[in-house]
Amino acid sequence: MAKILISILQLGTIDYPTGLRLQEKLVSLRKECRIGDVVLLLEHTPVITLGRNAKSKNIVATPELLSQRGVEVHECDRGGDVTFHGLGQLVAYPIFDLRGFPSDGASRKTLGAIEYVRRLEEVLICSCADFGIAAKRILGLTGVWTEASAPATSKEHVGTGALARPVESQNRQPSSGAESKIAALGVHISRGVTSHGVALNVNTDLSFFNLIIPCGITSKPVTSMQKELNRPIAMREVAHSLSRNESTAKMIPLGPDYFMNSPNIASPLAGHILGTFANDFLIAEWQDAGGVSEQPRWIAPLHLHRSDDEAWYVLEGVLRVKVGDDDVELQVGSGVLVPRGTPHTYWNPGPNRVRYLLVMTSNIFQLIQDIHALPERTSAALRAVFAKHDSELL
């Protein structure tokens, strides 16, 4: 079976309805084979979600208290009961076509629902192990739980399989108390394509879980990586662990004069909106002509957006993206997010066209439209357009 390429898009903090609409659009595109497999990594603003099997009595807080704490409540089609999402919790939404993933079992060729859930749990267990936290499954329950006692002296991780990393086992720490839930899991599968996913408590304010009976389980508490290690953890480090991002980036010199005066800045051959979310979050598809490796076709000058994030997902060809000091080459099925305030540019490094999805706000879409409407891309004209949209050429 061919190698599976998975794009990891880090979206920062978004509200739950926006994340849900984005998932729905990506699932539709995946079913149509217009995109490859993708994982969305993000944090949600405070929200309680009720899965297909949820019991409303498991929300124990009054509507007044929920309003006071700024917590929304939403129903969804994932499996499971009631859970909480909020800042400091890393959420991963895999949009996978399971028919492209081989099964480890003898009874079927491709991945089934139960095996998929077990694999998600394995990723969470290994991510906890990366930070020295002993975690495991519990028979009959879904999710990942901390160990209640000291870890075994073996160099293998307790409760993990082939993905475990023996090198970190020497530093694993037991939970300070009883078995506690550190990660929740709930998925939906339609025509073989997955949505929803997992939520790992990193630096989560655990007092929010007092508003509910998490997953309807009263006998086991909830914990976080911060609580287990007695220190806050960088969300970016956990995101890298969860996504298994092993790519390396190199620095390249880029001068503003080269971009501003270069005749090699390309114009798009075509662009159109694929979907709009929460009035200002959208996906657009663009394609750009290629140049030659010695004189690449620059798609954008070096710039930043003060108020907007931006992400790319490659559908065809190769796209090079410079984010801060990092130069990343994106192949088909891969993507990258540029957080607001980060200098960046991107270009086509080869002679063939590149097609890519831009995940952006409507403000950035309008900026792109205004740039391509310019009769001449002079330095003054470009700077005026960028300033109009709270952005800056560098």
Minimal CA–CA distance to 193: which of 81, 29, 332, 331? 29
Q: Which CATH number fits the domain that encloses residue 373?
A: 2.60.120.10
The pLDDT, as a whole number, for residue 331 is 86
Kindly state whether residue 250 falls inside one of the protein's structural domains: no
Rounded-to-integer distance, Cα 9 and Cα 39, Å: 6
Eight-class DSSP state of 110: B
Please state, rounded to an integer, the average pLDDT across all residues of the chain: 78
The residue that leads in pLDDT, 149 or 157, is: 149
* pLDDT recorded at residue 178: 77
1 in a structural domain: no
CB neighbourhood size of 63 (10 A): 10
Q: Are residues 154 and 69 in the same domain?
A: yes
| Four-residue CA torsion sign, 64, 65, 69, 70 | negative
Q: In this structure, is residue 340 part of a structural domain? A: yes
Instruction: Compute the average pLDDT of residues 91-100.
Output: 92
3-state SS record for 143-188: CEEECCCCCCCCCCCCCCCCCCCHHHHHHCECCCCCCCEEEEEEEE
The pLDDT, as a whole number, for residue 348 is 81
**Are 94 and 228 part of one and the same domain?**
yes
Active site residues: 215
119 assigned to some structural domain: yes
Examine the pLDDT at 130 and tell me if it is beyond 80.
Answer: yes
- Please list the residues that pair with 255 across neighbouring strands: none
Average pLDDT over residues 9-33: 88
Query: Which residue range forms the structural domain that includes residue 183?
Result: 6-243
> Residue 276: its pLDDT value, please?
65
For the cut 90, the answer to whether the pLDDT of residue 232 exceeds it is yes
Last residue of one domain, picked from the residues 209, 243, 277: 243
Confidence band of 228 (pLDDT split at 50, 70, 90):
very high
pLDDT exceeds 60 at position 159: no
- Residue 361: inside a domain: yes
Report which of residues 160 and 373 the model is more confident about: 373
The CA distances from residue 284 to 183, 306, 378, in Å, are 33, 21, 26
User: Both tokens of residue 86?
Assistant: 């909020």
**Residue 113: inside a domain:** yes
Distance CA 264, CA 291 (A): 8
pLDDT at position 355 over 50: yes
Residue at a domain's end among 208, 243, 278: 243
Angstrom distance (rounded) from CA 368 to CA 389: 10
Do 343 and 198 lie in one domain? The reply is no
In the prediction, which pLDDT does 394 show?
76
Query: Residues of the chain with pLDDT > 70: what percent?
Result: 79
Q: Is residue 366 part of a domain?
A: yes
Whether residue 251 lies inside any domain: the answer is no
Does residue 183 share a domain with residue 159?
A: yes
Which amino acid, one-letter code, is at 332? V
102 three-class SS: strand
Q: Is the pLDDT of residue 267 over 70?
A: no
Q: What pTM, to 2 d.p., does this model score?
A: 0.60
Across 18-27, 80-89, 331-340, least confident range: 331-340
Domain count, the chain: 2
Q: Considering only 96-105, 167-176, 359-368, which range has the smallest mean pLDDT?
A: 167-176
Rounded Cα gap, residues 208 and 86, in angstroms: 8
Same domain, 35 and 181: yes
